[in-house]
Amino acid sequence: MNIRAFQLKCQARDSILFPECVDWTPADRLVELIGELGEAANIQKKLKRDYNSVRFEDLEMEAGDAFVSFCLWATGLNVDLETAAIKAYNKVLDRKESDMRRLDDLRREDHS
Ligand SMILES: [Mg+2]
């Protein structure tokens, strides 16, 4: 499954399971995303300070929550994350005048 397909899966799942959120704006989704990142940050803090109160798997789960929220936010803006990520990746290569290979398509990269 590519990133765009996952974005659409998240949107479809959300519209069925959370119909009360169907009219959420991208700003609402951004607040949701920041909330998930806050949850991840809290676990990250506890992993250092109170090691026995949380598990690494809790952080992994919050990373997943944040990614799903990120996908929902981007989809609400009609941003194709794969295209955006490739542009950002290549932009850094260009800025650093790197001879590393530019990405054209993540799906093609997976199969080469
Ligand atoms: Mg969460």
3-state secondary structure 52-83: HHCCHHHHHHHHHHHHHHHHHHHHHCCCCHHH
Give all domains of the chain, ordered by start, each with its CATH number.
Answer: 3-79 (1.10.287), 81-112 (no CATH)
CA 68–ligand 1 middle distance (angstroms): 10
Q: Are 32 and 72 in contact (CB under 8 A)?
A: yes
* Average pLDDT, 10 consecutive residues per value, the chain (112 residues): 95 97 96 98 94 93 98 97 95 93 74 56
CA 10–ligand 1 middle distance (angstroms): 15
How much is the pLDDT for 69? 98
CA 101–ligand 1 middle distance (angstroms): 36
Q: What pTM value is reported for the model?
A: 0.87
CA 86–ligand 1 middle distance (angstroms): 27
Q: Are 98 and 83 in contact (CB under 8 A)?
A: no
CA 84–ligand 1 middle distance (angstroms): 24
